[in-house]
Structure 1
Amino acid sequence: MTLNTDIKTVFAPNGVLRAAINVGNPILAREDASADGASGVSVDLARALATRLGVPLELVVVKAAARSVQVIEENHADVGFFAIDPVRGANIAFTAPYILIEGAYLVAESSPLQDNRQVDAPGHRVVVGQGSAYDLHLSRELQHAQIVRAPTSPAVFDVFVEQSLEVAAGVRQQLEASAHKHKGYRMLPGRFMVIRQAMGVHKSRGEHAARYLAEFVEEMKTSGFVEEALKRHGITGASVAPEQDTGS
């Protein structure tokens, strides 16, 4: 990758790279008062990009995936970290994914549900984080079950319990952690989707910016940076995404 003045201006027109960091997904980032508000794999990638561009980094910390999209669309952030989805792709140019995360279902121990395919049935209420990748995916896929939206992904389990719902949907590790803390709950086997987590930039920044970011992500994967970041932050259950040909 080569750096020129133009690309630095495109990504950081005010001389600072503003990165939207969603702490609602603990696989990617978590709140950290000792580290500019957040730490995690996405923060490490944002810091590496700022270093590459030769500009300071400013974290725009949000607590929901939908808000990450919003701050990019409203030009309150320059780059962000998202699950790839065609709805979000209307205004955001995604890179190829850098990690893959499983989406899974949680139910009460007493639930008759034993298989993911049984979830989509009349009378079943499935709670998801509003605007999350799971919300967008299940809104398209579920034909019979009702979707209930929690304010954020971390609030899914609480809403699931408080409203005595049939199914909770979200990041496998996040739901497993809740099941381990509270007796009487279990995960359904397997997964209902694979979430492809990518970096993204608003399409108004142009094709050159999108291509530069895509090449940056591929370099971070092939160099081992992403894998090392996952290990450093103790993340399990997520894998480095396969390499992609950026066409450069």
Structure 2
Amino acid sequence: MSLVHTLASAIAVLAAATMPGAAQDAAVKAELAPTGTLRVGLIEAPTAGLIFVSHAKDGKPEGVTADLSADIAQELGLPLAVTLFPNSGAAATALQAGTIDISYMPVDATRRQVIDFGPGYYDLESTYLATAASGIADVSQVDRPGIRVVAIDGTTTIRASARTLTQTQPVGVPSVAEAVERMRMGQADAFALSRDTLQPIVPQVPGSRIVDGGFQQTQVAVALPKGRPIALAYVTAWLAEAKKSGLVRRIFDERGFRGDAVAP
């Protein structure tokens, strides 16, 4: 971000902060949800996790990020519209295009160039799910000639996997469901993804195991289009309060992630 851009953003935030309550609320809504509806992009997978959502019996998305989105929409008194994406790369592209207003995804340097991030709510470790036939038990054993690695297109995980592998390279697939199917059909030996998301996938690939060690540590954070400093300041304050009040902890617990720590 340039110095001029940084100063302009700071001035915009300061100006909004000194407005009367009603005007400040209107400024936040105008920048965070310019259409009058909070358009949220969520990432879909067969099983909900700390990033991904799945479908409830009524067809609505359910998961940690769906609950967080509902809270921020309620806080602002805004209607909520959810768009589901097969991967975080597609959601990042939609943020960049301005067709959605907010999403949640792992942070990396490539994404910071095109979208803005608020605070993180979860510290993520990327690793591999390995098939029984591969005999892979440790992350270092993935990096061998002939090992067929799959990862989700356009994600920080595939970029980190590609950077750290020297003897083989990951093949991109569009979704978690596609990666799982390739593992089940014997068309891949290892699947790169976050450890928390891989855990419920293990039973879907009989004999598979999550390997020891990891190849990336990053945070999952709130993401917004660039050029919305008032909106960014608001979601930063909102998530800080949601962590302080215990809301994020309660959402984790209610969704079955009692053993996972909320990012400080």
TM over 0.5: yes
Give the % identical residues.
Answer: 26
Give unmatched runs, 5+ long, in structure 2.
1-16
Within 5 Å, give how 1:204-243 maps onto structure 2: 204-205=227-228, 207-235=229-257, 238-242=260-264
The equivalent of 1:199 in structure 2 is 222
* 1:83 Cα deviation from its structure 2 partner: 0.9
Give unmatched runs, 5+ long, in structure 1.
243-248
The equivalent of 1:55 in structure 2 is 78
SS of 1:34's equivalent?
Answer: coil
- Higher deviation after alignment, 222-231 or 111-120: 111-120
Within 5 Å, give how 1:7-46 maps onto structure 2: 7-24=28-45, 26-27=48-49, 28=51, 29-32=53-56, 34=58, 37-46=60-69
The aligned amino acid for 2:178 is A
TM-score, structure 1 normalization: 0.86
TM-score, structure 2 normalization: 0.82
* 1:120 Cα deviation from its structure 2 partner: 2.0
RMSD (CA atoms): 2.2
Q: Is the 8 A contact 2:27 2:230 kept in 1?
A: no
Q: Is the 8 A contact 2:164 2:215 kept in 1?
A: no
Q: 2: CA distance between counterparts of 1:222 and 1:150?
A: 37
Give 1 or 2 for the bigger CA radius of gyration. 2
Q: Is the 8 A contact 1:102 1:172 kept in 2?
A: yes
SS of 2:233's equivalent?
Answer: helix
Q: 1: CA distance between counterparts of 2:222 and 2:124?
A: 14
Q: Is the 8 A contact 1:104 1:172 kept in 2?
A: yes
Q: Is the 8 A contact 1:133 1:195 kept in 2?
A: no
Within 5 Å, give how 1:51-200 maps onto structure 2: 51-200=74-223
131 and 237 in structure 1: CA distance in 2 versus 1, 3 angstrom threshold: farther
- Higher deviation after alignment, 79-88 or 50-59: 50-59
Q: Deviations over 1:174-205 (max 9, x none)?
A: 43333324433222123332341111111122
SS of 2:120's equivalent?
Answer: coil
SS of 1:149's equivalent?
Answer: strand
Aligned length in residues:
240
